[in-house]
């Protein structure tokens, strides 16, 4: 019987049994059908599974690309995602497909080329940064009660100090939902039916929500987060790099974070899988500009670590 080998990683963590789980298939056949990849992702039952192929000649930039990476949740294919991108870089490094000491690699994903900057400790990849596209901000969402229902919270738990609910995208759109406290955020639960109604009331296509609070805690995180995406089969995600970029852009845009320093984001605590995501805005404009002249965010960087948890073989039907 034909079979496929995969690596299992825990991503956005430096230790086993934390972070977000990922399965990476490094050697799928080039003609593997999308429906088979989808069935494999459903069988793995992780929030995402990736398949790595040669880059091909897409987007007219083949000379810049190192790998094509296709990303599947149990329910659908994604154009880009954070922990699958970071984790796949670590899987490729572990397998010797990325040369030790290489400072950069570029994946072709559904949104186009995704650059990664790599940091090493001797011959071991120790940290990876993905660069996400320039953030796009939607209008503020005037549906606080509906999003409170969607997350099983009270309206007064949301939008402290008037911070808006807002859709932001760095390749994948997320509705960013500010929450007053960690206690409130820990009480949140996704209600799939109310989730659908909230997006309808907001006039938006149904998508994921990313909840955050700036209330400090003993862990030293700058921001504490949770992500719900029932529309793509993810009740809750332990670490969401594609949401961390939009969140960082939101915080900088609304004056809630210092754009000159790295934002430390803690996610996945309520799932028992604490995940640490580092966020940096890429600012456009002269460094010497007066403080009264804001510098524009031209991209977002999201980084983290990953550890190899195991490997296995999946047997395919004849």
Calpha distance 259→261 (Å, rounded)? 6
> Is 48 marked active-site?
yes
Q: Is 191 helix (H, G, I), strand (E, B) or coil?
A: coil
Instruction: Determine whether 89 is exposed, middle or buried from the number of CB atoms within 10 Å of its CB (0-12, 13-18, 19+).
Output: buried
What span, in angstroms and rounded, lies between the C-alpha atoms of 139 and 45? 34
Angle (nearest 5°) at CA 267 between 261 and 269? 135
Q: In the chain, what is the greatest distance between 2 CA atoms, to the nearest angstrom? A: 66
Q: Which residue in 3, 7, 4 sits closest to 96, CA to CA?
A: 7
Tell me the CB-side half-sphere exposure of residue 198, using CA atoms within 13 A. 30
The catalytic position among 48, 109, 149, 236 is 48
Q: How far is CA 134 from CA 141, 249, 292, in A?
A: 21, 9, 22
Burial of 256 (0-12, 13-18, 19+ CB in 10 A): middle
Give phi and psi for 229, each to the nearest 5: -145, 65
CA neighbor of 277 nearest in space, from 317, 228, 227, 233: 227
Joined tokens for residue 77: 């294919």
Torsion 197-199-200-206 (CA) sign: negative
Which sequence positions are flagged as catalytic?
A: 48
């Amino acid at each position: 019987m034909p079979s496929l080998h995969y690596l299992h990683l825990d991503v956005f963590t430096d230790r086993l049994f934390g972070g977000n789980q990922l399965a990476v298939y490094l050697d799928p056949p080039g003609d593997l059908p999308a429906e088979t990849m989808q069935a494999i992702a459903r069988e793995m039952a992780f929030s995402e599974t990736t398949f790595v192929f040669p880059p091909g000649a897409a987007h007219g930039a083949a000379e810049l690309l190192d790998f094509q990476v296709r990303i599947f949740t149990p329910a659908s294919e994604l154009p880009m995602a954070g922990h699958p991108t970071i984790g796949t870089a670590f899987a490729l490094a572990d397998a010797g497909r990325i040369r030790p000491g290489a400072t950069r690699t570029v994946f072709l994903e559904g949104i186009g080329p995704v650059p990664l900057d790599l940091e090493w400790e001797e011959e071991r990849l120790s940290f990876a940064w993905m660069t996400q596209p320039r953030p796009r901000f939607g209008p503020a969402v005037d549906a606080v009660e509906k999003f409170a229902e969607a997350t099983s919270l009270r309206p007064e738990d949301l939008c402290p100090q008037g911070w808006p609910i807002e859709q932001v995208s760095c390749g994948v759109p997320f509705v960013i939902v500010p929450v007053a406290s960690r206690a409130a955020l820990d009480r949140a639960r996704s209600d799939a039916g109310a989730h659908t109604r909230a997006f309808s009331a907001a006039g938006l296509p149904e998508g994921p929500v990313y909840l955050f609070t700036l209330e400090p805690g003993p862990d030293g995180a700058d921001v504490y987060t949770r992500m719900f995406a029932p529309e793509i089969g993810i009740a809750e995600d332990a670490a969401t790099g594609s949401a961390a970029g939009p969140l960082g852009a939101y915080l900088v845009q609304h004056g809630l974070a210092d754009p000159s320093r790295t934002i430390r984001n803690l996610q996945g605590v309520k799932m028992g899988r604490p995940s640490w995501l580092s966020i940096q805005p890429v600012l456009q404009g002269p460094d010497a500009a007066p403080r009264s002249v804001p510098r524009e965010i031209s991209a977002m960087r999201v980084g983290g670590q990953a550890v190899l948890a195991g490997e296995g073989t999946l047997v395919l039907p004849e």
